[in-house]
Structure 1
Amino acid sequence: MEDRFTELNPKTCVVLGGRGFLGRSLVLRLLKLGNWIVRVADSAHSLQLDHSDSDSLLAQALSSSRASYFHLDLRDKHRILKVLEGSSVVFYMDVDALNANDFYSCYKLIVQGAKNVISACRECRVKRLIYNSSADVVFDGLHDIRYGNESLAYPWKMDNVLSDLKAQAEALILSVNDIDGLLTCALRPSNVFGPGDSDFIPCFLKLARYGFTKFIIGTGDNLSDFTFSENVTHAHICAEEALNFRTVSVAGKAFFITNLEPMNFWEFLSLLLEGLGYPRPFIKLPANLVQYFLSVLRWLHEKLRPRYFSYPLLVHFFQLATHTRTFNCTAAQKNIGYSPLVSLEEGITLTIGSFSNLAKDSSFSSCCDSTEQTKADKMLGGGKVANVLLWRDEKTSFTYFLVLVLLFHWFFLSGRSFISSAARLLLVATLLLYGYCLLPSKLFNFSIPRIPTSSFEISDTTMKGLVATLVYQWNKGFQNIRRLGRGNDWSTFFKVAVVLYFLKLILSVSKLLTTLIGIGLVFSFMAFFVYEQYESEIDGLVDVLFAQLKEFMTYLVRILPVSKSRHLHYHQE
């Protein structure tokens, strides 16, 4: 086997970022081709292999010296020189573990890292450098792109910091083409997804767990191009082969890479979510409303620099979700011989299978019919009150709601005093009971059941319990009055005084009391029901609000004078 490998005259290549999402896929493909000696370089200090097919093949290649691993920091040029020495090809893949909120770190790793790689390639006499860029480098976040080709210029301003830095790195790599014998090109895949994805798909699933993917932002008609990861690595192999022949139409050029199957962005998202047990997006939100919410987050991001969410990531998702972005891959097909190996449908199926561990335990429909007690049910005690307020039986709940609305109108909106309203209600109840008893046993062939006397009786046990409760409360009140009379319990005095004052205040403002009771009535029949339907969304929003409040308190402690900040910190604890 080794003799056969030697006969193939293998080429030595370096895969920078070889343990990342696309890097793993490229390493696996290179090893399968059998005519490469692969140097895997990444930021991890040691190589941690798992039981996947990719790592099993890599383990065999490591034992036969067909592959080797190098710890690499792109900010260390001397280390890059050691890794690249003796290689003829460098595949420059994505830089992982970037914090979009840390501009300085991102600049050093992406832009300065690209400069270091270029310099090392020239010194080590590397022949070909293929850079994995992104279609985002030509997207300004404001305008649609419909079948855009390589003639598109870089936008003069981008909201996405990572895309901006990536565009700078791409321009640097393309500008050094054919200097010191180094041939370069860049590939621009659009919306890369697939097994092992650590960015694109996990972002959707994180939003789905909070229930936010039920919402469609904007009209939902925007098209997008997507690229399966294996097709991206295939494009890198094609680009290297084209550069090997010193093709003028390839060197120093950038090429868009897609699956050649544009589809509706929300349909793509729906297929993924449905495959993993989440509901399809079905509630449309105006894009202007979401943009206003993002403007608030921008202010928080600039003022507080919070660590609990990535504002650039949210903005990028919003831009993808509301704009059409399709690209023309004719240049890649013609000049580097690219064509997708895996169809979009097959890629989605493979991706869903690889993320099965993150799938929802049950589908949306089964979730709605689940017998598991919800948080709202637990809050209401899970009894008859819970069944009424959560509208378990619509007829019963509506009946209770109608009766309470009538009582509210009778006591608070009729213009009569409370005692007068109560007296009239008792009078009406008496007339109804008396008239009901006068009715015959049958009326128009309908049997009229009699009210049993037991319905008006109270058992001795219940009566004793009520009397005992009344006596206990009376004695407790008398003890409190006696403590007040002695004048030595200031705590009880202030409690009673505050309660009586607020009671006087509420009763003196009858309109306010009426309004509060009316709001409370409507709120009780709506709030718990809505919370049960959108439990995950509301919980996620509350978590974000509390996190914002915590960050705001930290911000206040930071800007207030020392004495006041200590006092505020004491109350926080």
Structure 2
Amino acid sequence: MAIETCVVFGGRGFIGKSLVDRLLRVGNWIVRIADSIPTLQLEPSESLLSHALSSGRASYFHVDVRLKSNIIPAIDGASVVFYMDDRDSYVHNFYICYTIVVQGAKNIIAACQECKVKRLLYNSSADVVLDSWQDIHGGDESLPYSSKFVNMVTDLKAQAEALVLVANDTDGLITCALRPSYVFGPGDNYISSLLVNVAKSGWGKFIIGLGDNITDLTYVENVAHAHICAEKALSSRGSHVCGKAFFITNLKPMTFKDFVSLVFQRLGYQRSIIKIPARFTQYVTLIIKWTISRMSNWRAENVPVLYIIELALCHRRFNCSAAQKYIGYSPVVSLEEGVALTAKSTQLARESSFSSYSDTDEESKVHKLLGGGKVAEILLWRNEQRTFTCFLLLVFIHYWFFLSGRSFLSSLAQLLLMIAAALWGYSILPPTIYGIAVPRISWSFFEISEVDMRTCFYNVAYTWNRMSQLASLLARGEDWYIFLKAAVPLYFLKLIISDCMTFAIGIALAMAFTSFLIYEQYEDEVDSTANVIYSISKGAFTLLMRGLPLPLAVFHSDSEIPSSRLKIQQ
């Protein structure tokens, strides 16, 4: 078998690394790795590449595809070029992306023609035929390019793909392009990373819609294998391969919900369990995208969770029969095995979320939050008898002050009278009653230490000073955040006191003796849900603060606008 020289542009990217590894394992290639990284730094797992570099079977070229003069030394004498522009190198800047993706493709095509390279293969994306929120049911290569691309990078990749295909059979160069669908695998900083971030943030608890949308995903090694198959087919100059594009998948469509559950299970996260209506989620997502589009320095692709939401709502299934028939492609790694390999090799995996339920002597988070003392012991039902006694006592107090129909002062007076009478009666009891000793109450029981009194007064003084400082800030009218922080809780407190204070205290009493216990049992679930609510509230509050005008006090003041307020307005 003849030895040929090939060049892999983007050879240090996610898909490029896998292709280089597979080319070296095939054994009949001298591989040149071309990338924008100044120096080649190998990972411990890349022993095959290390040996190939030592023996001369592989070499590295630092190349900027935006400059044609940089490209020619890397491809001079090569017969095949694989162009794997990698998503990890993109930035959210149109000009930079255009020069890397589109202008880079033009430069590589021109350099290949000048250096008499025989074959050029471009790694495109299945997204080039997708409109935003469009369903694809078994789409094949007859689908036209999208009229409304899902993001800027996909738009540019479609232009680069078209340039490569049009260049076919020009100056002896034959070309083709592959369109892998949703690539994942070891080193994936996009789909797998996004899913784990979603799980950590708490969004992973939710299933959007019915969860029945079909999605085609592709393991990264299968993409590398497809490129080698396509190169072999190109060498035969078949009319069904040259100048054509082919969809590449794992040939096993599955519901996106099942894929996410498989990933979560392998990485040690709990599967999604809470369903959200699909239509509601789509409307919310569209509103968020519209809001982001109104911000000059933001784009929708800056919010990765929107990408996951779109994946979870749309059918994305492609027909790979052309790739099977004309380039001889079939997956070499199954989807389940690919997920297992990804989870095994990634640092994103963690211990199971159910580990908090195992028997352990370590204090729980809520136990530490409650101070780890008697209050924690009572509210977490460590001693059922003591907890139940405290609960009955608090229920009695709630009834006495709020449900008896008397005013607060009259209830307090009657309670003090009852306590005074009980203490007097206790004091005149004989030392023994029917042989049972009656314990006496020590005078020290009614004393309060000087340290406790000093601490009490310090706390009162601190609270008073804080309230005085807050009132001063409100009087100056310089910060909307301070105003909302004070006004909103006070308004809700007014509603509670005026309308349902008795009911609210009763509910609070019941929740105090149940919610902490429940939280201790389901810490992870409660924390993740709270993170979701917090992130939504924080985003809504930020948008609200952006829209508020500057306070009038700022315009009547000679002092500078506070830097924090300037930051919000910008």
CA distance in 1, matches of 2:223, 2:252: 14
Q: Which residue of 1 aligns with 2:260?
A: 269
CA distance in 2, matches of 1:562, 1:171: 60
Q: 1:378 aligns with which of 347, 362, 368?
A: 368
Q: 1:67 aligns with which of 45, 58, 61?
A: 58
The 8 Å contact of residues 293 and 299 in structure 2, kept in 1 or not, is answered as no
- Would the alpha carbon gap of residues 506 and 51 (structure 1) be closer, same or farther in structure 2, given more than 3 Å must change? closer
Q: 1:24 aligns with which of 17, 31, 42?
A: 17
1:535 aligns with 2:522: no
Q: Which residue of 2 aligns with 1:15?
A: 8
Q: 1:155 aligns with which of 143, 146, 163?
A: 146
CA distance in 2, matches of 1:48, 1:493: 58
CA distance in 1, matches of 2:537, 2:77: 55
- Would the alpha carbon gap of residues 294 and 203 (structure 1) be closer, same or farther in structure 2, given more than 3 Å must change? same
Q: Give the secondary structure class of the aligned counterpart of 2:246.
A: strand
- Would the alpha carbon gap of residues 277 and 392 (structure 1) be closer, same or farther in structure 2, given more than 3 Å must change? farther
Q: Which residue of 1 aligns with 2:448?
A: 465
Q: 2:306 aligns with which of 308, 315, 318?
A: 315
Q: Which residue of 1 aligns with 2:354?
A: 365
**Shift of residue 334 of structure 1?**
0.6
Q: Which residue of 2 aligns with 1:568?
A: 562
Q: Give the secondary structure class of the aligned counterpart of 1:465.
A: coil
CA distance in 2, matches of 1:521, 1:231: 59
The 8 Å contact of residues 300 and 306 in structure 2, kept in 1 or not, is answered as no
The 8 Å contact of residues 160 and 316 in structure 1, kept in 2 or not, is answered as no
1:94 aligns with 2:85: yes
The 8 Å contact of residues 130 and 150 in structure 2, kept in 1 or not, is answered as no
Q: Which residue of 1 aligns with 2:487?
A: none
The 8 Å contact of residues 66 and 107 in structure 2, kept in 1 or not, is answered as yes
Q: Which residue identity does 1:210 align to in structure 2?
A: S
Q: Which residue identity does 2:373 align to in structure 1?
A: G
CA offset digits 1:346-395 (Å, max 9, x no partner): 2222222112x32213x122223464445443332133433555677999
Q: Give the secondary structure class of the aligned counterpart of 2:88.
A: coil
Q: Which residue of 2 aligns with 1:108?
A: 99
**Shift of residue 65 of structure 1?**
2.2
- Would the alpha carbon gap of residues 24 and 555 (structure 1) be closer, same or farther in structure 2, given more than 3 Å must change? farther
CA distance in 2, matches of 1:564, 1:182: 70
- Would the alpha carbon gap of residues 383 and 74 (structure 1) be closer, same or farther in structure 2, given more than 3 Å must change? same
CA distance in 1, matches of 2:137, 2:315: 7
Q: Percent identity at matched positions?
A: 49
1:223 aligns with 2:207: no
**Shift of residue 284 of structure 1?**
1.4
**Shift of residue 135 of structure 1?**
1.5
- Would the alpha carbon gap of residues 554 and 470 (structure 1) be closer, same or farther in structure 2, given more than 3 Å must change? closer
CA distance in 1, matches of 2:236, 2:154: 31
Q: Which residue of 1 aligns with 2:406?
A: 416
Q: Which residue identity does 1:17 align to in structure 2?
A: G
Q: Give the secondary structure class of the aligned counterpart of 1:326.
A: strand
CA distance in 1, matches of 2:8, 2:337: 27
Q: Which residue identity does 1:122 align to in structure 2?
A: Q
Q: Give the secondary structure class of the aligned counterpart of 1:165.
A: helix
State which drifts further: 519-528 or 293-302. 519-528
TM-score, length-scaled by structure 2: 0.78
Q: Which residue of 2 aligns with 1:42?
A: 35
Q: 2:285 aligns with which of 263, 287, 294?
A: 294
Q: Give the secondary structure class of the aligned counterpart of 2:107.
A: helix
**Shift of residue 176 of structure 1?**
1.9
State which drifts further: 60-69 or 404-413. 404-413
CA distance in 2, matches of 1:275, 1:370: 23
**After the TM superposition, which residues 134-283 of structure 1 pair with which residues of structure 2 at under 5 Å, given as runs?**
134-283=125-274
CA offset digits 1:167-211 (Å, max 9, x no partner): 222122112221222211111111212222222211111222223
The 8 Å contact of residues 177 and 183 in structure 1, kept in 2 or not, is answered as yes
Q: Give the secondary structure class of the aligned counterpart of 2:82.
A: strand
**Shift of residue 311 of structure 1?**
3.4
CA distance in 2, matches of 1:534, 1:417: 39
- Would the alpha carbon gap of residues 148 and 470 (structure 1) be closer, same or farther in structure 2, given more than 3 Å must change? closer
The 8 Å contact of residues 506 and 513 in structure 1, kept in 2 or not, is answered as no
The 8 Å contact of residues 496 and 504 in structure 2, kept in 1 or not, is answered as no
State which drifts further: 245-254 or 59-68. 59-68
**After the TM superposition, which residues 72-91 of structure 1 pair with which residues of structure 2 at under 5 Å, given as runs?**
72-91=63-82
The 8 Å contact of residues 25 and 233 in structure 1, kept in 2 or not, is answered as yes
**After the TM superposition, which residues 400-479 of structure 1 pair with which residues of structure 2 at under 5 Å, given as runs?**
404=394, 407-408=397-398, 410-412=400-402, 415-422=405-412, 458-465=441-448
**Shift of residue 491 of structure 1?**
7.8
Q: Give the secondary structure class of the aligned counterpart of 1:58.
A: helix
**Shift of residue 142 of structure 1?**
1.7
CA offset digits 1:240-285 (Å, max 9, x no partner): 1111111000111111111111122121221221122111111112
- Would the alpha carbon gap of residues 82 and 511 (structure 1) be closer, same or farther in structure 2, given more than 3 Å must change? same
CA distance in 2, matches of 1:309, 1:27: 33
**Shift of residue 291 of structure 1?**
3.4
Q: Which residue identity does 1:94 align to in structure 2?
A: D
**Shift of residue 227 of structure 1?**
1.4
The 8 Å contact of residues 134 and 190 in structure 1, kept in 2 or not, is answered as yes
TM-score, length-scaled by structure 1: 0.78
Q: Which residue of 2 aligns with 1:443?
A: none
**Ranges in structure 1 where 5+ consecutive residues have no aligned partner:** 1-7, 433-449, 481-489
CA distance in 2, matches of 1:354, 1:493: 54
CA distance in 2, matches of 1:493, 1:114: 64
CA distance in 2, matches of 1:171, 1:141: 20
CA distance in 2, matches of 1:209, 1:69: 38
CA RMSD of aligned residues (A): 4.5
CA distance in 2, matches of 1:218, 1:394: 43
- Would the alpha carbon gap of residues 340 and 472 (structure 1) be closer, same or farther in structure 2, given more than 3 Å must change? closer
**After the TM superposition, which residues 440-519 of structure 1 pair with which residues of structure 2 at under 5 Å, given as runs?**
458-465=441-448, 510-511=498-499, 517=505
CA offset digits 1:98-141 (Å, max 9, x no partner): 44533332222222222222222222222211111112222223
CA distance in 2, matches of 1:79, 1:266: 45
CA offset digits 1:384-407 (Å, max 9, x no partner): 433555677999879867875675
CA offset digits 1:9-62 (Å, max 9, x no partner): 32121101111111111111111222212110011001101221xx32222222
The 8 Å contact of residues 130 and 184 in structure 1, kept in 2 or not, is answered as yes
Q: 1:118 aligns with which of 109, 119, 134?
A: 109
